[in-house]
Amino acid sequence: MPPDTATGTAAPTERAGYGHAPASPVSRRPFAPYRQLLAAPGVRAFTAGNLLARLPMGMFSVSAVIMIAGAHGSYALAGAVTATGLAATAVVAPWTARLVDRYGQARVAVPATATAALGSLALVLCVHYDAPVWTLFASYAATATTPNTGGMSRARWAHLHRGDPAALHTANSFEQSADELCYMLGPVLAATLCGALFPEAGTLAGAVLMMTGVLVFAAQKATEPPVAPRTRTASPFRTAGMPALLAAFLATGAVFGAMEVASIAHAGGAILALQAAGSCAAGLLYGSLRPVADVRRRLLLCLTGMTALMSLPLLAAASTESRLVLAGCLLLAGAATAPTMVTGMTLVQRLTPEGQLNEGMTLAVTALLGGIAAGSAAGGWTVEHAGTVTAYAVPMGAAGLALVVAAAGVRRH
């Protein structure tokens, strides 16, 4: 499959600034590729809208837990409600993405987001007015229609920079760093709003930000990818190499879920911000470098590095009680995750058939979320039965599993 299968042929776009020849000179100044990336017409507007819409993704779960646990006095209930929402999202998200590919981003994303926002508002009302418990599950399940805004943004980059792997690599790195930033700032913002104002404030603010961001994003028609003619209806999951790649995403998600539980149990949740910060910084640096041409080889190198670096928190927890040492190891471990995710998403773009890019990337995100849930469960079981130090072996093992799966099943490009 040629490198540009996911985005069409490598013909240059007619809009000035929306594509760059692969042979064009690249500045060696640090982060110069990002300045070039954001200089194209319309890019900053859709990026700003997307970031605004994506920030609540790190807010909703924390806000729901604080709100429900405060009203009902049960973290078990709060966890069950958020888990139900996650399961519903895993089922609904690929269908929403398929509609986006078929009818266009603006036509689908706005009503889908409005439905999700109404679900969040319904949850607030149900909690505030002490509605029956089943209404909490139903309300939060309605938020599953939230579109994959990060995937839609990556689809725009893939359209604007088709035929230019270097620019697309920088764009994917920027998007991954944005993900890390949103998931790092979102929980802090949610907890602050719920604590400083009232328990429902985090959910309300998240719904407003999400709806506003999607409206701004959808209004940028000039950068929206055209709807491709429907030549096939089979899911991208059936594409050769995709099942193994999704399995690698599943195992990578387990790395994140297990690391989160182990770190919270061992040293408190605040220390996790360092892992996210390391990943964010590494993603930006990775995007400023010229990538290895063979994406499969690059993915295997990233997974190898992630497996090796995930051993550092285990070694630190086993050999010292210093939180400073553990923090440094988490910072280094986080540095491997963004390059892995960037390269994995690049390969998803290469493998996904034309006209199904949003669905393909949403499948990857769904696999990642499933892995996070499985990793959290495995990490929690290990903490309870073997201790917090041993729990750090779970993310390292999950990273090794991702490496083995990718090496065995992801086809060469």
For every residue of 117-163, DSSP letters joined together read: HHHHHHHHHHHHTT--HHHHHHHHHHGGG---HHHHHHHHHHHHTTT
Q: Are residues 248 and 220 located together in one domain of the fold?
A: no
Rounded-to-integer distance, Cα 324 and Cα 334, Å:
15
Identify the segments of the chain with pLDDT beneath 70.
1-30, 230-233, 269, 411-413
Rounded-to-integer distance, Cα 307 and Cα 298, Å:
14
- For residue 296, give both structure tokens: 């499969």
Q: Identify the domain containing residue 335 by its residue range.
A: 237-413
18: helix, coil or strand? coil
Q: Which domain-ending residue is among 173, 202, 227? A: 227
Q: Is residue 273 situated within a structural domain?
A: yes
Count Cβ neighbours within 10 Å for each residue of 147-184 and write b for 16 or more, e otherwise. Answer: bbbbbbbbbbbbbbbbbbbbbbbbbbbbbbbbbbbbbb
Q: Are residues 203 and 68 located together in one domain of the fold?
A: yes
Q: Are residues 213 and 268 located together in one domain of the fold?
A: no
Q: Are residues 323 and 217 located together in one domain of the fold?
A: no
* Cα R_g (the chain), whole angstroms: 21
CATH of the domain at 305: 1.20.1250.20
How far separated are the first and last CA of the chain, in Å rounded? 7
Q: Which domain-ending residue is among 208, 227, 246? A: 227
Q: Are residues 211 and 326 located together in one domain of the fold?
A: no
Q: Are residues 198 and 260 located together in one domain of the fold?
A: no
Q: Are residues 146 and 295 located together in one domain of the fold?
A: no
pLDDT of residue 232: 58
Q: Is residue 267 situated within a structural domain?
A: yes
Q: How far is CA 362 from the centre of its chain?
A: 9
Q: Is residue 161 situated within a structural domain?
A: yes
Q: Is residue 200 situated within a structural domain?
A: yes
Other CB atoms closer than 10 Å to residue 308's CB: what's the count? Answer: 15
Amino acid at 309: L
Q: Are residues 311 and 400 located together in one domain of the fold?
A: yes
Contact (Cβ atoms closer than 8 angstroms) between residue 140 and residue 64: yes
Rounded-to-integer distance, Cα 126 and Cα 156, Å:
37
Q: Is residue 33 situated within a structural domain?
A: no
Other CB atoms closer than 10 Å to residue 208's CB: what's the count? Answer: 15
Q: Are residues 254 and 322 located together in one domain of the fold?
A: yes
Q: Quote the number of domains for the chain.
A: 2
Q: Are residues 218 and 250 located together in one domain of the fold?
A: no
pLDDT of residue 128: 92
User: What angle, 0 to 180 degrees and rounded to 10, lies between the N-to-C axes of helices 323-334 and 311-319?
Assistant: 170
Q: Which domain-ending residue is among 198, 227, 256? A: 227
pLDDT of residue 5: 35
Q: Is residue 8 situated within a structural domain?
A: no
Q: Is residue 5 situated within a structural domain?
A: no
User: What angle, 0 to 180 degrees and rounded to 10, lies between the N-to-C axes of helices 295-309 and 311-319?
Assistant: 10
Which DSSP state fits 234? S
Q: Are residues 221 and 247 located together in one domain of the fold?
A: no
Q: pTM score, two decimals?
A: 0.81
Q: Are residues 77 and 190 located together in one domain of the fold?
A: yes
Q: Is residue 182 situated within a structural domain?
A: yes
Contact (Cβ atoms closer than 8 angstroms) between residue 133 and residue 99: no
